[in-house]
Chain A
Amino acid sequence: MNCKRIRPLLSAYHDGELDPAQQAEVEAHLAACLECAHTLDGYRSLGQDVRGLPNVRPPAGMQAEFEKRLHKLSGSSLFGARGMSLRRGLAATAFAIALVALALGVYAVLRQMQLPEGTVTVASVYPESGATDVPLDANLIIIFAQPMDRASVEEATSIIPEKEMAFGWKDQTLTIVPFANWEPATTYTLTVATTALSVDGMSLEKPLVLSFTTEEGQAPSGGGLNPLGRFGLIWRAEFGGPGGTMGYATDVAQELWSATQPFERGRMIWVDYLQEDTVYVLSYGADERGGTWEKYVDTFREGDLESSGLTPPEGKLESIRGFGKVWRDELGGPDAPIGWALTPEQGYVGEVQFFEHGLMLWNPLDGTTYVLLDDGVWGAYPLSE
């Protein structure tokens, strides 16, 4: 009987998603293997716990709120609806005109009734309107002179050509982060419509229009990507960005289950890739900020020997499980150049991005990005202050 072969099938067995032959094989194994039966029980308990989570009641006004939004949308989209008959179309047009007239009337009344005196002013913007050579990963910053109703500002903000954006606020400062880099040599126009309100209900006197043109830049080669966020910053600042030593990113950053363990003269990092778990062994060079690295496939499976019971020197640990297996089998155990483990391994959800000539690993536990280059050298980049 082979637990290693059966184990990945257990989860599908639990779901009733195996073919009859595989099912029979798993059942025969389960009858004889306590360990696998125990794992299956674990899956069942997990399923029960997830199903047992209480249902959450949606907020009371949610349906009404949605219907309002839907009507707003269906009102505006009547003209655009395809496949409409002429009669329906005409009726819809009349209805839409009536709606617009009604909306204008209501708006005029509301404006007189509710809007306080004065208007919102914008203290400053970055980049300035008309700016050229704006970096491809630049954020846009708008500083308002008053505290703003954030939702209304976000709703009132649009950009042409269209681009997905994320909004971040700090007091009266709005930072707009593009989801992906700006296109090179492109003129963008950002508009904040007058529906943006301050917390006091004041609106912009006129729409804020901000046009800027991005730098020429190099289009990533062979479908490559410019990395974003922290990886992007390190890539630009430390590795020369486009045309630099790492090349372009070859895929978007992924959030992956990871673990790490510090050693006397290095560190191990394990990453749960879909295809193959991998252990990176980082040895310290002159100091703890860099050195050389090697990569191993994690061959540890549940049921394997967890440790070999060696006695570590005082204050040190023997690495166990996947790390332990690499440490003993590949690095020579007690003779390993990285020495003994210092603290137990810790798991976390890390972030990984591959580049043409290396990869970056983000560890939220120590706030550090580890950059591993294909030439076998690595460096650590702590969270910038």
Chain B
Amino acid sequence: MSEILLAHRVRDGDSDAFEEVFRTYYPRIYNYVYRLVENAEDASDLTQESFLKAYRALLRGEEPLNISAWLYRIASNTCMDALRRRRLIQWQPLEGLLSVLGGGATSPEAELVQKEQQTEIEQVLAQLPPRYRMILLLREREGLSYAEIAEVTGDSLDAVRVTLYRARERARKLAKKIGASLRDSRPRSEKL
């Protein structure tokens, strides 16, 4: 279905059309969100919230040209917002404000267990600032071009280039620290 047509059908109150959008994209968006927030329960909530936001936007008359980049944008903003909320709550001086977003802050013990179960690359991603994690996932995992990433993040192409460079440099250093020897012990490819 063409994206414009779909937008029109949804706007005319055809929620079946939107169910089709959900069915098509939700496994991808869920995976992306899961890697951003590292928690299955939050990922499910935030994915659904993102799609509901998308639905409301279509009802309001928004007409996305590239529906997948548009969904990534909504999901990215929703997650960045949620991570910000999580941080905001953690900062409150009142003791015990721990349950945010149905999981939110974890105890040091739980964090340790979680860490042990994570692979090296998961640990690297987890320790990157959220923005770096987001841009690295969009590029390397979701395969978006710089122009598409710029559309998602609302940054200029230059900013995308610089942020990706910094994210990679940071990830490489973290990997070294965490002991992901892969980065440095792997044989170099023969030809560059």
Known contacts being A73-B55, A82-B59, is A166 close to B88, with CB within 8 Å? Answer: yes
Q: How large is the interface on B (under 10, 10 to 19, 20 to 34, 35 or more residues)?
A: 35 or more
Our pick among B27, B94, B168 for the contact of A11 (Cβ within 8 Å) is B168
| CA distance in complex: A384, B92 (Å) | 10
Known contacts being A56-B34, A92-B13, A168-B100, is A47 close to B140, with CB within 8 Å? Answer: yes
Q: Which positions 170-192 of chain B face chain A at CB distance < 8 Å?
A: 170-175, 177, 180, 182-184, 186, 188-189, 192
Provide the residues of chain B in CB contact with A67, threshold 8 Å: 19, 22
Q: Which positions 26-73 of chain B face chain A at CB distance < 8 Å?
A: 26-27, 30-31, 34-35, 40, 43-44, 47-48, 51-52, 55-56, 59-61
User: Is A228 close to B, CB under 8 A?
Assistant: yes
Provide the residues of chain B in CB contact with A83, threshold 8 Å: 11-12, 61
User: Is B136 close to A, CB under 8 A?
Assistant: yes
- The answer on a CB contact under 8 Å between A88 and B52 is no
Known contacts being A8-B162, A177-B89, A255-B131, is A43 close to B136, with CB within 8 Å? Answer: no
- The answer on a CB contact under 8 Å between A233 and B93 is yes
Q: Which positions 333-364 of chain A face chain B at CB distance < 8 Å?
A: 347, 349, 351
Our pick among B44, B130, B140, B162 for the contact of A46 (Cβ within 8 Å) is B140
| CA distance in complex: A102, B62 (Å) | 32
Chain A min CB distance to B28 (Å): 9
| CA distance in complex: A15, B145 (Å) | 8
Provide the residues of chain A in CB contact with B175, threshold 8 Å: 46
User: Is B97 close to A, CB under 8 A?
Assistant: yes
Provide the residues of chain B in CB contact with A73, threshold 8 Å: 52, 55-56
Report the stretch among A57-65, A105-113, A191-199, A289-297 that lies at the interface: A57-65
User: Is B163 close to A, CB under 8 A?
Assistant: yes
User: Is A216 close to B, CB under 8 A?
Assistant: no
The chain A residue sitting closest to B27, CB to CB, is: A58
- The answer on a CB contact under 8 Å between A228 and B88 is yes
| CA distance in complex: A8, B38 (Å) | 29
| CA distance in complex: A205, B132 (Å) | 47
Provide the residues of chain A in CB contact with B130, threshold 8 Å: 255
- The answer on a CB contact under 8 Å between A44 and B189 is yes
User: Is A86 close to B, CB under 8 A?
Assistant: no
- The answer on a CB contact under 8 Å between B146 and A49 is no
* Chain B proximity mask over A57-91: 1 for CB below 8 Å, otherwise 0: 11100110111011101100110111111001000
Q: How large is the interface on A (under 10, 10 to 19, 20 to 34, 35 or more residues)?
A: 35 or more
User: Is A30 close to B, CB under 8 A?
Assistant: yes
Known contacts being A15-B139, A177-B92, is A168 close to B159, with CB within 8 Å? Answer: no
- The answer on a CB contact under 8 Å between A177 and B182 is no
| CA distance in complex: A65, B44 (Å) | 10
Chain B min CB distance to A30 (Å): 5
Known contacts being A38-B188, A56-B30, A166-B88, is A43 close to B95, with CB within 8 Å? Answer: no
Provide the residues of chain B in CB contact with A5, threshold 8 Å: none
Provide the residues of chain A in CB contact with B23, threshold 8 Å: 63
How many residue pairs link A and B with beta carbons under 8 A? The number is 210
User: Is B141 close to A, CB under 8 A?
Assistant: yes
- The answer on a CB contact under 8 Å between B13 and A81 is yes
- The answer on a CB contact under 8 Å between B93 and A170 is no
- The answer on a CB contact under 8 Å between B87 and A255 is yes
- The answer on a CB contact under 8 Å between B47 and A62 is yes
Q: Which positions 1-56 of chain A face chain B at CB distance < 8 Å?
A: 8, 10-12, 15, 17, 27, 30-31, 37-47, 49-53, 55-56
* Chain B proximity mask over A224-237: 1 for CB below 8 Å, otherwise 0: 00001110010000
A contact set with B: CB distance below 8 Å:
8, 10-12, 15, 17, 27, 30-31, 37-47, 49-53, 55-59, 62-63, 65-67, 69-71, 73-74, 77-78, 80-85, 88, 92, 139, 150-151, 166-171, 175, 177, 179, 228-230, 233, 255-257, 272, 274, 302, 347, 349, 351, 384
B contact set with A: CB distance below 8 Å:
11-13, 15, 18-19, 22-23, 26-27, 30-31, 34-35, 40, 43-44, 47-48, 51-52, 55-56, 59-61, 84-85, 87-89, 91-100, 102, 119-122, 124-125, 127-132, 136-137, 139-141, 145-146, 159, 161-166, 168-175, 177, 180, 182-184, 186, 188-189, 192
- Pull 15 A–B residue pairs with CB atoms less than 8 Å apart, ordered by A: A11-B165, A42-B172, A44-B189, A47-B140, A52-B121, A53-B121, A55-B27, A70-B15, A71-B15, A81-B13, A82-B61, A175-B92, A177-B92, A229-B91, A233-B93
